[in-house]
C-alpha cells in the first residue's frame, strides 16, 4: 500500500488531524467520555509528518506522547476541539477527524462536587456541535476525512456518514472485531470512498493503517490535480 514515490504529494501540504476522546465536565471530580486512546490519530499525525506534511494535531486528553515534529494542541471538551479546528480549517489542505467526539455534554455542570442522595440520579445531556458535519458544510478546497467506529451495520452507517457529513472518505471499523478499535495497537479498517467502492484492509498495526491512509489521501490529491 505504502509506496515511497507516492508520498511526495503530501509533502508541504497542511494537515489538520484530531485525535482522542473529549471530556465533558459534570462537576470538578466527574466527567463524561469514551474509550478512545488517541493511538490511531497520533499514528496518522506521525506518519504524515514523516511524509513531509505540516501537521497540526488537535487532541483530547490521552496518555500517549505527541509525535515529533507535529504541532500539538491539547483540548478537553467537544466545544474546545471545535474552536481549535475552526482556527486551522481555512489554511488546511486535508482534515482527518479521527477524534471520538462526545455527542452529548451535561446540560448543567456544577462548580462544586455533587453530593450523593438517596434514590436514582437523573442527568440531562445536550448535544455538542458535530464538528465534521460543520466542516462538510463549510469546506471549499479541503479534503475531508471522517471516521466511523461501529458495533454493527458498519457499511450502512459508514456510507450514511460519507453523505451526511459531505466527507471525501470515511475510515470505518467495527470495534467488535478482534484486533480492531479502542486501545488496541492494531486496527481492521475499510475505506469507504465517494465512488461507492470499499477497500477492506487486513488487520495491521495502527502505524500501517496510517500509512495506507496516507497513500489513499495521495490518490485523492492526485484525483484533484488531474
If one asks whether residue 169 binds ligand CTP (CB under 6 A), the answer comes out as no
Distance, in Å, from the CA atom of 37 to the CA atom of 160, rounded to the nearest integer, reads 25
Question: What DSSP letter does each residue of 177-198 carry, written as one string?
Answer: STT-STT-SEE-EEEEETTS-E
Shortest separation between residue 212's beta carbon and ligand CTP, angstroms: 17
Distance, in Å, from the CA atom of 58 to the CA atom of 74, rounded to the nearest integer, reads 6
Shortest separation between residue 37's beta carbon and ligand CTP, angstroms: 14
Look up 34 and say whether it is catalytic: yes
Nearer Cβ to ligand CTP, position 6 or 173?
Answer: 173
Q: Which of 128, 173, 184, 190 binds ligand CTP (CB under 6 A)?
A: 128
Nearer Cβ to Ca ion, position 53 or 101?
Answer: 101
Q: Which of 161, 168, 174, 209 binds ligand CTP (CB under 6 A)?
A: 161
Helix (H, G, I), strand (E, B) or coil at 146: strand
Nearer Cβ to ligand CTP, position 32 or 114?
Answer: 32
List, as residue ranges, the binding site for CTP: 103, 113, 147, 161, 165
If one asks whether residue 206 binds ligand CTP (CB under 6 A), the answer comes out as no
Distance, in Å, from the CA atom of 69 to the CA atom of 56, rounded to the nearest integer, reads 10
Window 97-126: residues binding ligand CTP (CB under 6 A): 97, 99, 101, 103
Distance, in Å, from the CA atom of 222 to the CA atom of 215, rounded to the nearest integer, reads 10
Distance, in Å, from the CA atom of 202 to the CA atom of 30, rounded to the nearest integer, reads 38
Distance, in Å, from the CA atom of 183 to the CA atom of 168, rounded to the nearest integer, reads 26
Size of the residue set binding ligand CTP (CB under 6 A): 15
One of 34, 166, 173, 187 is an active-site residue; which one?
34
**What is the four-CA torsion angle of 63, 67, 71, 77, rounded to 10 degrees?**
-20
If one asks whether residue 103 binds Ca ion (CB under 5 A), the answer comes out as yes
List, by residue number, the catalytic residues.
34
Amino acid at each position: 500500500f505504502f509506496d515511497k514515490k507516492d508520498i511526495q504529494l503530501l509533502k508541504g501540504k497542511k494537515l489538520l488531524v484530531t485525535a482522542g476522546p473529549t471530556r465533558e465536565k459534570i462537576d470538578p471530580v466527574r466527567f463524561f467520555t469514551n474509550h478512545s486512546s488517541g493511538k490511531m490519530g497520533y499514528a496518522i499525525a506521525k506518519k504524515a509528518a514523516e511524509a513531509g506534511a505540516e501537521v497540526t494535531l488537535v487532541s483530547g486528553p490521552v496518555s500517549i506522547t505527541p509525535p515529533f515534529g507535529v504541532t500539538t494542541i491539547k483540548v478537553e471538551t467537544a466545544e474546545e476541539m471545535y474552536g481549535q479546528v475552526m482556527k486551522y480549517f481555512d489554511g488546511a489542505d486535508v482534515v482527518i477527524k479521527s477524534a471520538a467526539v462526545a455527542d452529548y455534554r451535561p446540560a448543567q455542570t456544577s462548580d462544586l462536587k455533587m453530593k450523593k442522595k438517596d434514590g436514582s440520579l437523573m442527568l440531562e445531556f445536550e448535544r455538542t456541535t458535530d464538528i465534521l458535519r460543520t466542516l462538510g458544510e463549510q469546506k471549499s478546497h479541503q479534503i475531508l476525512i471522517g471516521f466511523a467506529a461501529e458495533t454493527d451495520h458498519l457499511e450502512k452507517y459508514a456510507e450514511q456518514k460519507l453523505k451526511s457529513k459531505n466527507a471525501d472518505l470515511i475510515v470505518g471499523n467495527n470495534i467488535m472485531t478482534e484486533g480492531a478499535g479502542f486501545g488496541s495497537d492494531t486496527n481492521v479498517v475499510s475505506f469507504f470512498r465517494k465512488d461507492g467502492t470499499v477497500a477492506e484492509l487486513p488487520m495491521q498495526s495502527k502505524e500501517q493503517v496510517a500509512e495506507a491512509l496516507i497513500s489513499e489521501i495521495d490518490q485523492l490529491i492526485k484525483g484533484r490535480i488531474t
